[in-house]
């Protein structure tokens, strides 16, 4: 993009040999001049847009500014992780609070969606390459069906399928499973909520210690393998350290964790029956539907990416691995997948970004995500431009962070050329 690129070979030497007076022909000076001029033009352009917008808003008697963020919103958000973390009950809340609630809810559904879509996508993608005709047929139908119908339709399908299913009891009833610790009805999925008791800190420290020890163990196992060629079962060691050790500490300290069950009332006025607010853990049906729809929809795309990635690895690689006596499992783990990931990761990043952005469809089924909170605030305050700017910045930040992380993973994975 710089002007010096026009004369790549002779530019610098000619500039050096020229007398200092003719700055006009110095490619470096010219390049700086044009870049500064462009920068000024771009800044002036945006400054003009802002100035023009505020002038027009004023001319049309429309209030503007960000002062509304401190006002009390005239709405309430359904209980979700966001309202729980922000602790919005029983205090005066502001528009800023409800936006934060939405932000947390969006993050929640995005993280859940990314994890589930990746797992389902990889499984379906491998099925697509299976020689088993049932697995192949199922995965093909899955991909073609979900990839070729609109996401909004799928969100409605899961939501109203969940609400209308005949085996889902109404708000006053429940269906229990897992030894009566989990329940569901039309208002959501209820589970026990963990309440740490004194002494639970020891278990958390044990988890941290386990993770640290695993890192050390992995380093030691690598060195030993390099030196002696002997392998160490890292996976089982890690399980023992990260799961086994904390479990042992937990039991030794006398199981300092109480599970608070969701409070279910069976009699009294009809309206008061059913699960009570503020007890146990709750997944609302809107979240479940959105989570399902987003992950299953995106998984169809990820499956195709995974299939393409695996097919991109030359068959000769597998044959060479077999010739060296490497087992089928290790061939997949050490030869095929690392090479496939190089093809998979860049398009996978786009799918992760899509999940976050598509989660803004939540408003259609009343899940209080960030965009739905923005929309409600927008309607109540009329500050369209301010709120849309906030929304754009938030989604941009999400996307940039995801991209940065995935680029980091990609740089770790990509072919290191010597």
Partner 1 sequence: MTLRHLLCGVMAVGFGFAAASTPASAQSSGSTLAAVKSKGRLDCGVSQGLPGFSNSDSAGNFSGIDVDLCRGVAAAVFGDPTKVRFRTLSAKERFEALKSGEIDVLSRNSTWTMTRDTQLGIIFAGVNYYDGQGLMVPTSLGVTTAAELDGARICTNTGTTTELNVTDYFRSHGMTFELIAFEKTDEVGAAYEAGRCDVYTTDRSGLAAERLKFADPEGHVVLPEIISKEPLGPAVRQGDEQWLNVVKWTHYAMLNAEELGISSENVDQIRDEQAGLVSQGQGNQEIQRLLGLGDDFGAAIGLPKDWAYQIVKKVGNYGEVYDANVGPDTPLKLARGANALWTNGGLQYGMPVR
The structure tokens listed for 256 are 């300092």
Nearer residue to partner 1 within complex by CB, 78 or 221: 78
Q: Identify whether the C-beta of residue 209 lies closer than 8 Å to the C-beta of residue 236.
A: no
Q: Identify whether the C-beta of residue 114 lies closer than 8 Å to the C-beta of residue 137.
A: no
Shortest distance (Å) from residue 114 CB to partner 1: 24
Residues 6+ apart with CB under 8 A from 77: 83, 88, 98, 101, 102, 368, 373
Please state the length of the chain.
Answer: 418
Whole-angstrom distance, CA of residue 101 vs CA of residue 363: 14
Nearer residue to partner 1 within complex by CB, 36 or 202: 36
Whole-angstrom distance, CA of residue 267 vs CA of residue 223: 66
Nearer residue to partner 1 within complex by CB, 190 or 352: 190
Extract the runs of DSSP E, i.e. beta strands, from 108-248: 175-177, 182-185, 188-191, 193-196
Nearer residue to partner 1 within complex by CB, 27 or 309: 27
Shortest distance (Å) from residue 418 CB to partner 1: 34
Whole-angstrom distance, CA of residue 262 vs CA of residue 182: 9
Whole-angstrom distance, CA of residue 251 vs CA of residue 398: 40
Nearer residue to partner 1 within complex by CB, 145 or 265: 265
Beta bridge partners of 206: none
Nearer residue to partner 1 within complex by CB, 289 or 306: 289
Whole-angstrom distance, CA of residue 345 vs CA of residue 352: 10
Shortest distance (Å) from residue 176 CB to partner 1: 19
Nearer residue to partner 1 within complex by CB, 16 or 271: 271
Whole-angstrom distance, CA of residue 223 vs CA of residue 230: 10
Residues contributing to the site for partner 1 (CB under 8 A): 1-3, 6, 34-35, 37-38, 41-42, 45, 48-49, 52, 56-57, 59-63, 74-79, 156, 160, 163-164, 170-171, 186-187, 269-272, 277, 285-286, 363-366, 368, 372, 375-376, 378-382, 384
The structure tokens listed for 196 are 């740490």
Shortest distance (Å) from residue 6 CB to partner 1: 7
Nearer residue to partner 1 within complex by CB, 24 or 416: 24
Shortest distance (Å) from residue 52 CB to partner 1: 6
Whole-angstrom distance, CA of residue 274 vs CA of residue 386: 41
Question: In whole angstroms, what separates CA 26 from the centre of its chain?
Answer: 49
Nearer residue to partner 1 within complex by CB, 79 or 181: 79
Shortest distance (Å) from residue 397 CB to partner 1: 24
Shortest distance (Å) from residue 282 CB to partner 1: 11
Shortest distance (Å) from residue 22 CB to partner 1: 20
Shortest distance (Å) from residue 35 CB to partner 1: 8
Degrees (nearest 5) of the Cα angle 117, 119, 121? 60
N- to C-terminal Cα distance for the chain?
A: 29
Q: Identify whether the C-beta of residue 192 lies closer than 8 Å to the C-beta of residue 259.
A: yes
Nearer residue to partner 1 within complex by CB, 129 or 152: 152
Shortest distance (Å) from residue 378 CB to partner 1: 7
Whole-angstrom distance, CA of residue 147 vs CA of residue 143: 6
Element (H, E) at 289: helix 285-311
Alpha-carbon torsion angle 195, 200, 203, 205, nearest 10? 120
């Amino acid at each position: 993009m710089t002007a010096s690129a026009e004369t790549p070979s002779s530019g610098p030497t000619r500039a050096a040999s020229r007398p200092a007076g003719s700055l006009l022909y110095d490619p470096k000076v010219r390049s700086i001049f044009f870049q500064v001029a462009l920068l000024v033009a771009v800044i002036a352009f945006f400054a003009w847009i802002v100035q023009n917008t505020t002038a027009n808003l004023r001319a049309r008697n429309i209030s503007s500014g960000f002062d509304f963020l401190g006002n009390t919103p005239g709405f309430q958000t359904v209980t979700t992780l966001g309202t729980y973390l922000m602790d919005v009950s029983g205090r005066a809340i502001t528009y800023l609070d409800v936006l934060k609630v939405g932000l947390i809810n969006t993050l929640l559904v995005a993280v859940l969606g990314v994890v589930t879509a990746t797992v389902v996508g990889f499984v379906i993608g491998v099925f697509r390459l299976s020689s088993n005709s049932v697995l192949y047929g199922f995965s093909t139908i899955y991909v073609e069906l979900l990839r070729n119908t609109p996401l909004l339709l799928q969100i409605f399908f899961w939501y109203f399928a969940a609400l209308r299913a005949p085996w889902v009891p109404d708000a006053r009833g429940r269906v229990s499973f897992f030894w009566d610790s989990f329940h569901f009805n039309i208002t959501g999925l209820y589970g026990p909520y963990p309440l740490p008791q004194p002494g639970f800190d020891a278990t958390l420290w044990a988890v941290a210690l386990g993770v640290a020890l695993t890192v050390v163990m992995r380093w030691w196992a690598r060195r030993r393998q390099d030196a002696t060629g002997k392998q160490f079962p890292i996976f089982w060691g890690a399980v023992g350290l990260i799961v086994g050790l904390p479990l042992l500490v937990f039991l030794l300290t006398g199981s300092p964790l109480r599970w608070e069950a969701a409070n279910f009332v069976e009699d009294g006025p009809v309206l008061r029956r059913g699960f009570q607010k503020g007890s146990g853990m709750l997944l609302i049906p809107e979240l479940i539907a959105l989570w399902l729809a987003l992950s299953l929809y995106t998984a169809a795309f990820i499956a195709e990416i995974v299939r393409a990635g695996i097919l991109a690895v030359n068959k000769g690689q597998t044959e060479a691995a077999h010739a060296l006596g490497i087992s089928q499992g290790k061939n997949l783990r050490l030869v095929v997948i690392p090479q496939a990931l190089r093809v998979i990761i860049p398009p996978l990043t786009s799918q992760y970004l899509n999940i976050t952005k598509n989660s803004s469809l939540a408003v259609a089924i009343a899940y209080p995500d960030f965009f739905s909170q923005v929309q409600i605030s927008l309607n109540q305050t009329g500050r369209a431009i301010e709120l849309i700017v906030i929304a754009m910045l938030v989604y941009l930040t999400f996307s940039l962070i995801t991209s940065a992380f995935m680029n980091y993973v990609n740089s770790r994975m990509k072919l290191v050329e010597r």
